[in-house]
Amino acid sequence: MKWIVLKRTIDYDGSQISSLWGYMEADLQEDSIIAFRGSCDVQIRHMIDLEDRKEGDSIYSTDMLHFVIEHFDSTDLKLIYTRQRLFASIVAETLLQRGIRTSRAGDDLFVQGKKLSISIASTSAVSQKIHFGMNVEHNVYGCLSDQGVPEKDMFSMMEEIASRYVEEVHDIEKDLRKSRPLSVI
């Protein structure tokens, strides 16, 4: 698995959750996590969450840190939702190390009772995908700027989160290769 943090701004519109976006955007043909910064405006046609779609919810932010994850080893929806929650926990741990206390409910992070993040997971015929976004600036929801995260630290925080997720996945795969199967008695 590889990670990359893009230096250019990309505005997230929901199309980035499509299969093989990492290949088209950054020439990554393996499991990957691509981080970038930009606004977020997910239109109804790109909404994966049917509850949001039925409610006609708006998913909008002027400035977010985005993480798009793709795994090719399975198309199991339960597995990608588990990975999504693992990722949210890694983000929460990373923020706590920076002095920002969050709470997690499923795949969502909250800071001082305000929703800080958005996330969705889904599968296609070839891969599993996760999008996770965190508000940098927002006048209604929680945001990193209100928590005192300096502008100069945003890029390094994306690198740290992405690399920690990749390390966790590699560690899991290493453990899989050292455990013997249970025997039937």
Q: Tens of pLDDT along the chain (185 residues)?
A: 999 999 999 999 999 999 999 999 999 999 999 999 999 998 766 667 667 666 666 788 999 999 999 999 999 999 999 999 999 999 999 999 999 999 999 999 999 999 999 999 999 999 999 999 999 999 999 999 999 999 999 999 999 999 999 999 999 999 998 888 888 77
Q: Where are the alpha helices (DSSP H) in the chain?
A: 21-26, 50-55, 77-97, 154-176
Q: For position 45, which CATH number holds?
A: 3.30.930.10
Contacts of 177 (CB under 8 A, 6+ apart): none
Q: How many CB atoms lie within 10 A of CB 17?
A: 22
Task: Classify residue 86: in a domain, yes or no.
Answer: yes
Query: Where in the sequence is the domain holding 101, given as residue range(s)?
Result: 2-175
pTM, 2 dp: 0.93
Task: Classify residue 181: in a domain, yes or no.
Answer: no
Rounded to 5 degrees, φ, ψ at 112 are 50, 40
Task: Classify residue 183: in a domain, yes or no.
Answer: no
Domain count, the chain: 1
Task: Classify residue 102: in a domain, yes or no.
Answer: yes
Contacts of 168 (CB under 8 A, 6+ apart): 86, 90
Task: Classify residue 184: in a domain, yes or no.
Answer: no
